[in-house]
Amino acid sequence: MKFTHLGRSGLTVSRICLGTMNFGPQTEEADAHSIMDSAHDYGINFFDTANVYGQHKGRGATEEILGRYFAKGGARREKTVLATKVYGNMTEYPNEGKLSALNIRRALDASLKRMQTDYVDLYQFHHVDRDTPWDEIWQAIDVAITQGKILYAGSSNFAGWHIATAQEAARKRNSVGLVSEQSLYNLITRDLEVEVLPAAQANGLGVIPWSPLSGGLLGGVLKKQDEGKRRNNDQARAGLEKHHDAIEQYEAFADELGHEPGDIALAWLLHQPAVTAPIVGPRTQEQLDSAIRAVDLDLDGAALARLDEIFPGKKTAPEQYAW
């Protein structure tokens, strides 16, 4: 495994982040524990979750699975850079969601209890809260840092100007501010390149891409369909119809390179500026095994240029839409 710092922080994380959203709803707990052990064996030390993960199992169920995993001992918690999130409503009652100081305090304590740990390495704002002032948010985070309950703060699904505003408010308080941004980013969806990536670079944030395979569209979807190994839901069918020609070219190019399409998609992200670690969310051990190959896959300039031809990127603002 290769490692890097998370943004401008001194925190060392693996270049693959293990996403846990499927743990509970799609992956049984015993299998989830086995996948996490394998991730550690591979050298993956960066695990990502959220307080709302659990779906039909109930919000918080995924964090509880992690908690029972850490409780097994064997330095499992000590080996893990643990990231979770706050924002989504946990119940229908007021103050059970978003980023008020009250909810941050309650939600953090609840996450710590579910995960059976006394601190979180990276506490991420799952979405921007347009109603709560940044002074209030940072005051709550500063208190949590002073209490030793979190070490770093990160954002998720922020616009570039949200990042800049958050960082300026933190600077006025002499606070560290954000060290990471978790966003949708892959070869098909490259909107991040207009303003979020430049904002992350300028403010020293590491970018953690989610959905690196675009819901499986970059994982060899056409080949798997032909082999009868994949059934697409409505969203996947719509995406495949929209991007069919590009995906067809992409899979043919993967064959030319002699690599699996999913490996190339992950490797491409690892070549992008500011990207720290794409999140892989395996449902099975086999899916985790395949993701590891991307870390050592080096794409040369010609390969990167060809991928840009197939899936054109975005220019940095304002050149994307002005001179």
d(CA 18, CA 248): 28
Burial of 44 (0-12, 13-18, 19+ CB in 10 A): buried
Helix, strand and coil content of the chain, in percent to the nearest 5, comes to 45, 15, 40
Which is catalytic among the residues 53, 69, 87, 185?
53
Q: Is the dihedral of CA 237, 243, 248, 253 positive or negative?
A: negative
SS (H, E, C) 130-174: CCCCHHHHHHHHHHHHHCCCEEEEEEECCCHHHHHHHHHHHHHCC
* Residue 210: C-alpha distances to residues 49, 54, 139 (Å): 12, 17, 28
53 catalytically annotated: yes
Range 149-169 burial, b when 16+ CB lie within 10 A, else e: bbbbbbbbbbbbebbeebbeb
- In this structure, what is the dihedral angle of CA atoms 28, 31, 37, 38, given to the nearest 10 degrees? -130
Residue 209, φ and ψ in degrees, nearest 5: -70, 135
Q: Name 290's Cβ contacts closer than 8 Å, sequence gap at least 6.
A: 260, 262, 263
d(CA 12, CA 45): 9
d(CA 287, CA 266): 13
Residues acting as catalytic residues: 53
